């Protein structure tokens, strides 16, 4: 029985020593790995930032252009409507003038015919 106890005790001691060695190994400083692209990373970030800014600027410019195009189209549509309204007013005026001229001519003709019939 002594040997069984001794072997278990020594086994526990070995396990404890291994666990302690493992803990010490975890705390031991490791060798650092340097990034091969370290010097180029800032330039890469700057390029990416420039690309994002350019895309945002282009998006804003496109939105402004779309608004300007819509306003221009609305102005042109209003101009067409105004031109049609003006043409309608002018047409009505011309029609009134033609009618009044025709009425005046008919009145003159009637006077002339009345004079001729009296003779």
CA 90 to chain centre: 44
Q: Tell me, letter by letter, the H, E, C secondary structure of 41-99.
A: HHHHHHHHHHHHHHHHHHHHHHHHHHHHHHHHHHHHHHHHHHHHHHHHHHHHHHHHHHH
Identify the helix (H) or strand (E) that includes residue 16: helix 2-27
Residue 51's pLDDT is 97
Q: What's the pLDDT at 6?
A: 59
Q: CB-side exposure of 68: number of CA atoms within 13 Å?
A: 6
Mean pLDDT by 10 residues, the chain (119 residues): 64 92 90 85 94 98 97 96 93 87 86 85
Quick one: pLDDT at residue 1?
45
Query: Which pair of structure tokens corresponds to residue 23?
Result: 């803990």
């Amino acid at each position: 029985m002594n040997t069984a106890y001794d072997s278990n005790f020594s086994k526990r001691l070995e396990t404890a020593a291994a666990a302690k060695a493992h803990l010490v190994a975890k705390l031991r400083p490791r060798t650092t790995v340097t990034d091969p692209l370290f010097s180029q990373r800032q330039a890469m970030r700057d390029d990416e930032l420039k690309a994002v800014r350019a895309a945002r600027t282009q998006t804003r410019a496109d939105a402004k252009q779309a608004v300007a195009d819509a306003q221009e189209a609305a102005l042109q549509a209003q101009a067409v409507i105004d031109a049609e309204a003006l043409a309608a007013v002018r047409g009505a005026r011309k029609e009134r003038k033609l009618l009044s001229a025709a009425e005046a001519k008919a009145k003159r003709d009637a006077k002339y015919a009345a004079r001729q019939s009296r003779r």
